[in-house]
Amino acid sequence: MVTPHPERARLFGEEAERYDQTRPSYPDELIDEVLGTSPEHLSVLDVGCGTGIASRLMAARGAHVLGVELNASMAAVAERRGIPVETARFETWDPAGRVFDRVTAAQVWHWIDPVTGPSKAASVLRPKGRLCVFSSVGYHPDQLALDLEDTHQRAAPGALLWFGYGPSKRSDAADDYSWVTDGIDGGGEFEPPEEKRFAWSRDYTKEEWLSQLRTHTDHAALPPDDRERLFGEIGNDIDRFGGHFTMSCTTVLFSATRR
pLDDT of residue 1: 46
Report, as an integer, the average pLDDT of 206-218. 92
pLDDT of residue 8: 59
How far is Cα 165 from Cα 149, in angstroms, rounded to an integer? Answer: 11
* pLDDT confidence tier of residue 13, bands split at 50, 70 and 90: low
Q: What is the pLDDT of residues 45-63, one digit of tens each?
A: 999 999 999 999 999 999 9
Residue % of the chain over a pLDDT of 70 = 88
pLDDT of residue 167: 56
Angle among Cα 194, 197, 198 to the nearest 5 degrees reads 140
pLDDT of residue 169: 65
Its pTM stands at 0.91
Q: Which residue has the higher pLDDT, 96 or 154?
A: 96
Residue % of the chain over a pLDDT of 90 = 75
Report, as an integer, the average pLDDT of 80-85. 98
pLDDT of residue 222: 86
CB 150 within 8 Å of CB 122 = no
Q: Which of 22-26, 100-104, 125-129, 163-167 has the lowest mean pLDDT?
A: 163-167
Domains of the chain: 6-257 (3.40.50.150)
Average pLDDT, the chain: 90
Report, as an integer, the average pLDDT of 196-225. 92
* pLDDT confidence tier of residue 15, bands split at 50, 70 and 90: confident
Among residues 109, 68, 65, which one has the least CA distance to residue 87? 68
Q: Which residue has the higher pLDDT, 167 or 37?
A: 37
Angle among Cα 177, 180, 183 to the nearest 5 degrees reads 135
Q: What is the pLDDT of residues 147-195, one digit of tens each?
A: 998 998 888 776 656 545 555 666 666 678 898 999 999 889 999 999 9
Buried-exposed string 39-74: b where 16+ CB fall within 10 A, e elsewhere? beebebbbbbbbbbbbbbbbbebebbbbbbbbbebb
Report, as an integer, the average pLDDT of 7-16. 67
pLDDT of residue 78: 98
pLDDT at 92 over 90: yes
pLDDT at 141 over 60: yes
